[in-house]
């Protein structure tokens, strides 16, 4: 019974370590993506390329 509990605790610990590493890696990718998207939207806002004139056909 003791070794069963130790095994379960070890499996949970390994699973949390793997999930933590994945979250850490994905978080950095998310931050970089958000910065790139923000810079792209800033460029579009400054350049005015997204402006559509409805009077022209």
pTM more than 0.75: no
Please report how many Cα atoms fall inside a 13 Å half-sphere around the Cα of residue 48, on the Cβ side: 1
Euclidean distance between CA atoms 41 and 21, whole angstroms: 30
Per the CB < 8 A criterion, the answer to whether 4 and 10 are in contact is no
The structural domains of the chain, with segments of one domain joined by +, span 1-46
Q: Model confidence at 54, in pLDDT bands (50, 70, 90)? A: low
Torsion of CA 28, 32, 38, 42, to 10 degrees: 150
List pLDDT tens digits, range 9-43: 999 999 999 999 999 889 989 999 999 999 999 99
């Amino acid at each position: 019974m003791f070794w069963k509990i130790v095994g379960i605790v070890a499996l949970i610990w390994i699973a949390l370590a793997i999930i933590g590493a994945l979250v850490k890696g994905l978080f950095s990718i998310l931050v970089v993506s958000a910065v790139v998207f923000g810079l792209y939207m800033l460029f579009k806002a400054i350049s005015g390329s997204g402006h559509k004139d409805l009077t022209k056909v």
